[in-house]
Amino acid sequence: MSLTLTLYKFSKRQNSTAVPDPSSGTEVSIDLKDQTQILTPTFILHWTGYPDYNYAEFMGRYYFISTIESIRNDLWAISCSVDLLATYKSNILATSAFVAYDTTANTEITDRRLSIKTTPVVAVSSANHATLGKGSCAIVTITGKTSTRAYAMDISDATYLLDNMGNWLDNVDMLPMPDITLLTSVEDILKVILTNITQIGRQFIATGKASDSIKSAILLPVSLSSLTLPSANLYLGQYDTGTSHKYVTASARIVYDILNVTIPWQATDWRRNAPYHEIYLHIPYLGIVSIPPNEVMDETSISVESTLDITSGNCIFRLYTSKKTIRQYSTNIASSFPIGASNVTPIQSATAIGAAAAAIGATVATGGAALPAVAAGTAGIVGVANSLQANPTAVGSNLGGAVLGVPGTTSCIVIYHDTTVAPDSVSSIIGTPANQVKSLSGLSGYVETRNASVAGDMLESERTQINKLLDGGIYLE
């Protein structure tokens, strides 16, 4: 029985579904070798010369020609192996399967088959704070005439205020030591005592211990001009210093500062994720903050909002994007400000004054010599004033004075390790990650499935082999 075999000269890949153009084939009459298999048949061909072909089709199956053997003159044995992908191409395309890789553009799924470069690329972008780091000022909290207020002033003004508390003592109209010979009556003696008690009280208010009138003194990396505050005369207790300064109100004690810093991405696809990208924010008042790339992959910038309480230096930094808050930190950006203070307490002053008055009163009441007692009493009062000495102390607990020299610039630092080859450069050969169920009819090029199951009227061994080929990766052509 004579059978028909179509021979082709056809170039194709081993794991490809490509089929030849039927019009390019040559039909020949052949016989089957005795006891040959349909999947690996051997055809007996009468052919004058050498049958220079590499591909064949027989009874609906396509075959790769494996060997061509000469039996005798013009008689050839052509051994073949079935090309399952071409033979059952329509069945394959009609299949839906979980596709691990295909040539569809991928920007989201990491392709861990690609190696990572050791050498990094570093990119930095920066943005300036609107308020922080634009200058400096002092915030001095003082017990005044009617209340305790926090005053904002230039550091030079605060230094003058703190360094010259004792000097205001000279401005008080103190009475000189009286001439004892002129004190001839109890009225004269009490007048001198009461006047000096009043003046000592004023002196104490003006120059008393700093912790009694100045409750705190801090420096902030914020310019005085950026603070919108009312002004008022500054009182140290009851004493009017004669200077006017801004003071902090309840509604203005919080200062907000917001900046947006661009993320200098080095890729536009899944390489935005770790370990390819590392993202850090350098916030000068916090340090280096790490930001996981997966939290900002779809963002172009990060916003930094600071909320500063200018009376204490407590500051909250909130890091957020257009969609969510990603981090929040708290710190204190104030630095301590050393101040001069008296080491004489109000109790000490009152005790000395009271002792002098009691001595005079007792002397007068008993009819004794008043003048020596008056001299001793007023000398004691003056002694209190003379005992006032500077006692340097530091108000505040944050010793980070270096913060005043930090520029108000936040930087976004990106460290990028690229893949050794661009992902799209290998897509046509090994595909890119898909990881979803797809209909193979909508795909072309490289396709690799997981647990594929093709249906069709093929032999069971053919079905098993087709499924293995799909899971190993084929080319839909």
Indicate if the pLDDT at residue 253 is higher than 70: yes
Which pLDDT score is estimated for 187? 73
- Residues 218 and 231: their CA atoms lie apart, in Å, by 19
- 292/398: higher pLDDT: 292
Residues 6+ apart with CB under 8 A from 115: 419, 420
Do 228 and 374 reside in the same domain of the chain?
A: yes
Residues 6+ apart with CB under 8 A from 375: 180
Do 426 and 350 reside in the same domain of the chain?
A: no
Write out pLDDT tens, residues 183-198. Answer: 667 676 667 666 666 6
Do 143 and 190 reside in the same domain of the chain?
A: yes
Indicate if the pLDDT at residue 101 is higher than 60: yes
Indicate if the pLDDT at residue 175 is higher than 70: no
Boundary (domain end) residue, out of 416, 436, 463: 416
Write out pLDDT tens, residues 205-215. Answer: 444 444 467 78
Yes or no: say if 10 and 86 are a contact pair by the CB < 8 Å rule: no
- Residues 87 and 89: their CA atoms lie apart, in Å, by 6
- Residues 136 and 350: their CA atoms lie apart, in Å, by 40
Other CB atoms closer than 10 Å to residue 250's CB: what's the count?
7
Do 147 and 273 reside in the same domain of the chain?
A: no
Interior/surface letters 314-329, b for 16+ CB within 10 angstroms, e for the rest: ebebbbbbeeeebbee
- Residues 14 and 280: their CA atoms lie apart, in Å, by 49
Range of the domain at 434: 91-113+421-476
- Residues 386 and 381: their CA atoms lie apart, in Å, by 9
Do 457 and 362 reside in the same domain of the chain?
A: no
Which pLDDT score is estimated for 174? 45
- 392/146: higher pLDDT: 146
Write out pLDDT tens, residues 117-129. Answer: 999 999 999 999 9
Share the mean pLDDT of the chain: 82
- Residues 444 and 93: their CA atoms lie apart, in Å, by 10
Which pLDDT score is estimated for 372? 43
359 — pLDDT class (breaks 50, 70, 90): very low
Do 263 and 248 reside in the same domain of the chain?
A: no
- 471/347: higher pLDDT: 471
Long-range Cβ contacts of 299-302 (<8 Å, 24+ apart): 299/263, 299/323, 300/262, 300/263, 300/265, 301/260, 301/261, 301/262, 301/263, 302/260, 302/261, 302/263, 302/326, 302/412
Do 299 and 233 reside in the same domain of the chain?
A: no
360 — pLDDT class (breaks 50, 70, 90): very low
Do 350 and 301 reside in the same domain of the chain?
A: no
Yes or no: say if 357 and 200 are a contact pair by the CB < 8 Å rule: no
Question: Residue 355 class from Cβ within 10 Å (0-12 exposed, 13-18 middle, 19+ buried)?
Answer: middle
Which pLDDT score is estimated for 349? 41
Indicate if the pLDDT at residue 378 is higher than 70: no
Q: How many domains does the chain have?
A: 4
Do 221 and 146 reside in the same domain of the chain?
A: yes
239 — pLDDT class (breaks 50, 70, 90): confident
- Residues 153 and 138: their CA atoms lie apart, in Å, by 5
Q: What percent of the chain has pLDDT over 90?
A: 62
302 — pLDDT class (breaks 50, 70, 90): very high
- Residues 388 and 10: their CA atoms lie apart, in Å, by 110
- Residues 325 and 358: their CA atoms lie apart, in Å, by 69
- Residues 61 and 1: their CA atoms lie apart, in Å, by 19
Mean pLDDT of 242-246: 87
- Residues 70 and 337: their CA atoms lie apart, in Å, by 105
Write out pLDDT tens, residues 381-417. Answer: 333 333 333 333 334 334 456 667 778 899 999 999 9
Write out pLDDT tens, residues 329-343. Answer: 999 999 888 764 433
Which pLDDT score is estimated for 1? 56
Boundary (domain end) residue, out of 397, 416, 435: 416
Other CB atoms closer than 10 Å to residue 368's CB: what's the count?
10
Do 109 and 127 reside in the same domain of the chain?
A: no
Which pLDDT score is estimated for 380? 39
Please report where in the chains the tokens 């950006």 appear, as a residue: 333
449 — pLDDT class (breaks 50, 70, 90): very high
445 — pLDDT class (breaks 50, 70, 90): very high
Other CB atoms closer than 10 Å to residue 223's CB: what's the count?
16
Mean pLDDT of 177-181: 62
Boundary (domain end) residue, out of 389, 416, 443: 416
Do 202 and 351 reside in the same domain of the chain?
A: yes
Please report where in the chains the tokens 């061909």 appear, as a residue: 45
Do 260 and 249 reside in the same domain of the chain?
A: no
- 145/202: higher pLDDT: 145
The token pair that represents 392 in the structure block: 């340097």
- Residues 138 and 213: their CA atoms lie apart, in Å, by 16
